[in-house]
Structure 1
Amino acid sequence: MTFQVELSRRAEADIKGAYAYIRKHGPADPSAWKAGLEEKLTCLETFPEACGLAPENEFVKAEIRQALYGPFRIVFTIREQIVFVLTVRHAARLSMQRDDLDKIN
């Protein structure tokens, strides 16, 4: 079964923000970082269920999973044939809270 990966507006903003931060502060090449992230997102098209549950899972009825990409967590849920990416956040940041999850579209 193949899934389609979709990004929330928040996830798109997270990616842009991380790219800008890496571009300004390094040390990684921001283009290489983004290409690697896109490759990781493409991997979610097959077997997203193999990814572990995210800490955010305790707040909602739907399963919230995470995939790791370097020091970043790709937090997503599966909606039928769609892997819906809620956020892409640095792992050092606190987990999202119920209010944060309610705001994602």
Structure 2
Amino acid sequence: MAAQPKQGGVHLPARRSASNSDPSILTKITSSAIVSRGKQAACDAAFVSKKLLRSTGKAAWIAGTTFLILFVPLIIEMDREQQFNELELQQASLLGAPPTGPPHK
């Protein structure tokens, strides 16, 4: 029994030999000046983006800690003062004293 070739199916073209001195179109495109300048521009954009993201993170950290250290205690103290004023006003009204509020115009 002799081996018979298969009928039908997909036949791929034969590959070119590697010894061919003519470079392929893909090699020509990847080694072109436009592609190398595009790669360089992408690398530069990635570098700048990374630096910008890092400096933005540092600035956000500084702003957040400054807010916590300086403004949160101030907000808490203002809230305490407001509660104290409301308590004094409530005690004064219970004792029958006339309320002392800001003068009406």
TM-score normalised over the length of structure 2: 0.21
